[in-house]
Amino acid sequence: MLKFIILFFVFLGILIKNGKRKGWKTSSSWILFIYVLSLASAIPTLITDGFKEPFLDAYIVPSILFGIALVLYLLPLISYDETFGESFTLPSIKILDTFSSILIVLSFFSIAFFLPSVNHIFTMADLGDARNDLYAGTMYVEAGLSNTIASVSASLYVFAIVLFFVYLIIGNSKKRCVLLLLSSLSEIIHVLAYVGRDGVVFWIFSFVFIYLYFSPYLSSETNKKIIKNGLIGIGILMIPFMLISIGRFADSSDYDDTSSALLSYLGQGPINAVLFYGIDNPPMSNGSCFPLFWEVTGITPPVSDGMVRIGEWRSWAFSTFIVDYYRTFGFWGHYIVGLFLYFLFNLIIGNKRCGSFSSMIVYLLYFQVISEGLFYFHHYTRGGNLFIVLCFILCFVFKMLEKDSNRIVLYKQNR
């Protein structure tokens, strides 16, 4: 227990230092808060979930190794000072209108495709049965090309949120703002169609993060409206989240009630990560997180160790994205990848006086990997890999477009 309490206070200290240096209402403070909350939840989860191995002294070193890895992957967001810049560069309004229109069309196609399935699921008597049926092989959504297009389109929801705030700052685009905000719900609808809750959680993570980044560019009155309406919107989105949670855990023998299950949902990642670091010969996934690489190169991927259970660690339980990287790149490899990403992040973004739409894409991508990685590496599928590649392509394209003489420059209104 003590080792997890120490981990909690270490990252709480990092959060406090970050808050004092850059402010509490910053995007980096938000991601640190998410992990501090998870570490705090891990302490009671150790008791409620009946873990035994983490209490052993043998797991002191594994907890240190996990803590070092987590600091390493959080370092780019900690070292980058998002409050340093005074302005934000955008491409021309014509380019923004074109890009946002494409997003809106794709997102509404996604919503239209998945919404009937969501409606069917929520008319069922027991959402717990719906989820169990899904595990048993029942599909509520038709597979095929339309499904692929709708799924990929839904993953672009973060860009819709970014452009929502961009047009809110520019002004005179109320209709487009509403359409972009509705478009951002595509990922929530997509995940709900598979009786999942992650879409709601990730949308909240991303919306708060992007709001905090753009908050200094908004007027005080607009900031107040965003906070008020945002809290109402999040409250509404939590309804399907809670309905699925209650349906899933109401009759579960693993948890006393839904609240303890949600506590475990938030806190088991760090526990399972430490457990994994304590395995002598850990099972490896051998590159299974990046299927696109094997497809492009034509190399036959190594065989993954698959679903395994060693002691109290289970490969199908949340163990954070760091364990996925460990299983993919190996012990030293996942530390080297962390260092590489730190230098790449600084090369592309750095601490510049002027932020830009192109650098924001990479910043947002890194946040997504880290925040969603509270549970697991969310982009482990072919589509997820393609999304990462797409972000870097868009970063390069918009970097060129921002050199246009008709580019837009936003200035901070409050600090």
Please report where in the chains the tokens 């990848």 appear, as a residue: 337
User: How far is CA 315 from each of CA 196, 227, 305, 333, rounded to the nearest angstrom?
Assistant: 19, 38, 10, 19
Provide CB contacts within 8 A for 146, sequence distance 6+. Answer: 113
Q: Which two tokens stand for residue 316?
A: 């199908």
| Per-residue model confidence (pLDDT) at position 138 | 64
Contact call for residues 395 and 364 (beta carbons, < 8 A): no
Cα separation, 285 vs 324, whole angstroms: 8
Which amino acid type is present at position 164? F
Contact call for residues 20 and 26 (beta carbons, < 8 A): no
Q: Which residue, among 18, 111, 44, has the nearest Cα to 271 in the 3D structure?
A: 44
Q: What is the pTM of this model?
A: 0.90
Per-residue pLDDT of the chain (415 residues; tens, 9 = 90+): 788 999 999 999 999 999 999 988 999 999 999 999 999 999 998 888 788 888 888 899 999 999 999 999 999 999 988 887 788 888 889 999 999 999 999 999 999 999 988 887 877 766 666 666 666 556 677 778 888 888 888 989 999 999 999 999 998 788 999 999 999 999 999 988 887 888 899 999 999 999 999 999 998 888 899 999 999 999 998 888 888 777 666 655 555 566 777 888 888 999 999 999 999 888 888 788 888 888 888 888 887 777 889 988 988 888 999 999 999 999 999 999 999 999 999 888 877 666 788 888 999 999 999 999 999 998 888 888 888 999 999 999 988 887 777 888 888 886 5
Q: Where are the alpha helices (DSSP H) in 23-89?
A: 27-48, 60-79
Phi, psi of 88 (to 5 degrees): -140, 125
Q: Which two tokens stand for residue 406?
A: 């008709």
Which amino acid type is present at position 223? N
343-372: b or e for each residue (b if 16 or more CB lie within 10 Å)?
eebeebbeeeeebbbbbbbbbbbbbbbbbb
| Per-residue model confidence (pLDDT) at position 83 | 84
98: left (phi over 0), alpha (psi -120 to 50) or beta: alpha
Strand pairing category for 354-356 and 87-90:
parallel
Q: Which residue, among 175, 169, 197, has the nearest Cα to 104 in the 3D structure?
A: 175
Cα separation, 363 vs 373, whole angstroms: 15
